[in-house]
Structure formats: structure tokens, C-alpha cells
């Protein structure tokens, strides 16, 4: 590839389409969370929502999409207009400040106040959670030191032998735990001692 090719490649237009997050949520309701209808109904002008911009081609580095925030400028009959609040890293067909049209099925998340806890604190987790990419039990105990959240995570499929084996247990941050199990955000700032995932409700409920 010559210098001219490098120059023209940099100028290549990279377009996008918006991800239908409702379709993705239906495929994986547990791990692909989207805002509720009630939350959507409460949106007002000036609020920010995040959309998933799917590139029209997968890049050499494997990137297939950009997740970017849009500030709402119009809400009408379930349709929205919004202004892009950041400069895309790869997409060239839109720029910071551009306005675009979208619908409810494109809204991946809302800008909400952060959780009332330090997500950098550590939590105990079994390696079975990593293997299965799921957490079914969240148990809270008294923290042992300032960087300990007190949370312990399990799949519920571990044997007693697994639980007694230190090599099958590790420490991760709460932020990393949320990447495995996003639904944990509903319980990590609560005061209960134990929560279990109920598939019928697609939610963690307190184990009484």
C-alpha cells in the first residue's frame, strides 16, 4: 500500500445503522438490559440517551459498533430527535453536534445517577461464575477491610469441594461483576444479606 492509498483510506466514509436493542433484549433479556417503558415515558428534552451505532463494516481491529450519547431535542409520538454529544472514534458520516432521528427501540440506556456505592471495591467470586458467565447468588457479609465490599458471588452449581478450594475463588471489582451480571445493579446498594436470581421474573430477589 502506497502513501496515496493510505491517504484515501483515511478519507473513506464509514457509515452506520442504529441497533434495534429491543430485538437484542428479546434474545438475551438477562444480560442485555434496556430501559423500561416507564423510564422511556419519563424522558424529557435535554435528557441524554445512549444509542448503539453499528458500523457498516467491521474494522480490522474488530470494532463493529460505537456506543454514544445523544441529547434529546424533540419527543413526539414515540419518535425522538437528538444531538450527538461526542465525536465518533470511527464513524465519519456523522459528527459532534449532528442531529439524528431515532425511535424507542434504539435507546440502549439512559443517563442516570450512579449507584450509591464504590464499584472499584472488591468482591469474592467463584471461578464457576466466569466459566458460565452468570451469577445466580449474591451474598453480603461484613467487609473485612476498606477495599472489601462484603459481596460474594456464586452460580449455585459449585460443589462443597469447589467452595473449600481457594484456587477456585478469586477477587474482582464490583464493576467487573456488573459486566458479567448487569442485573446486580438492582441489589448492590441494598441492605439485604442474600439475593437469588429468579428466571421467571428475570430479576434478583431477596432470599428470606
Domain boundaries, the chain: 3-110, 122-206
Nearest Cα to Cα of residue 134 among 168, 189, 206, 182: 182
Average pLDDT over residues 136-147: 94
pLDDT for the residue 154: 98
Q: Say yes or no to pLDDT of 5 above 70.
A: no
Q: Buried b / exposed e across 105-137, counting CB within 10 Å, b at 16+?
A: bbbbbbeeeeeeeebebbbbbbebbeeeebbbb
pLDDT for the residue 6: 43
Q: Say yes or no to pLDDT of 7 above 90.
A: no
pLDDT for the residue 42: 92
Q: Say yes or no to pLDDT of 13 above 70.
A: yes
pTM of the model: 0.70
pLDDT for the residue 60: 84
Amino acid at each position: 500500500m502506497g502513501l496515496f492509498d493510505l491517504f484515501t483510506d483515511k478519507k473513506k466514509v464509514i457509515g452506520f445503522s442504529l441497533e434495534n436493542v429491543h430485538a437484542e433484549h428479546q434474545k438475551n433479556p438477562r444480560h442485555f438490559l434496556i430501559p423500561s417503558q416507564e423510564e422511556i415515558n419519563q424522558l424529557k428534552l435535554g435528557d441524554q440517551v445512549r444509542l448503539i451505532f453499528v458500523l457498516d463494516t467491521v474494522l480490522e481491529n474488530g470494532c463493529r459498533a460505537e456506543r454514544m450519547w445523544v441529547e434529546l431535542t424533540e419527543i413526539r409520538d414515540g419518535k425522538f430527535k437528538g444531538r450527538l454529544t461526542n465525536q465518533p472514534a470511527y464513524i465519519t458520516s456523522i459528527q459532534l453536534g449532528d442531529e439524528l432521528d431515532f425511535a424507542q427501540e434504539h435507546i440502549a440506556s439512559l443517563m442516570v445517577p450512579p449507584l450509591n456505592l464504590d464499584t472499584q471495591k472488591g468482591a469474592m467470586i467463584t471461578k464457576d461464575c466466569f466459566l458460565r458467565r452468570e451469577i445466580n447468588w449474591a451474598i453480603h457479609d461484613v467487609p473485612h477491610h476498606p477495599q472489601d465490599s462484603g459481596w460474594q458471588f456464586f452460580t449455585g452449581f459449585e460443589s462443597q469441594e469447589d467452595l473449600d478450594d481457594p484456587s477456585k475463588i478469586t477477587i474482582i471489582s464490583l464493576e467487573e461483576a456488573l459486566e458479567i451480571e448487569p442485573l446486580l445493579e438492582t441489589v448492590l446498594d441494598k441492605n439485604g444479606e442474600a439475593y437469588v436470581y429468579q428466571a421467571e421474573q428475570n430479576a434478583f430477589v431477596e432470599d428470606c
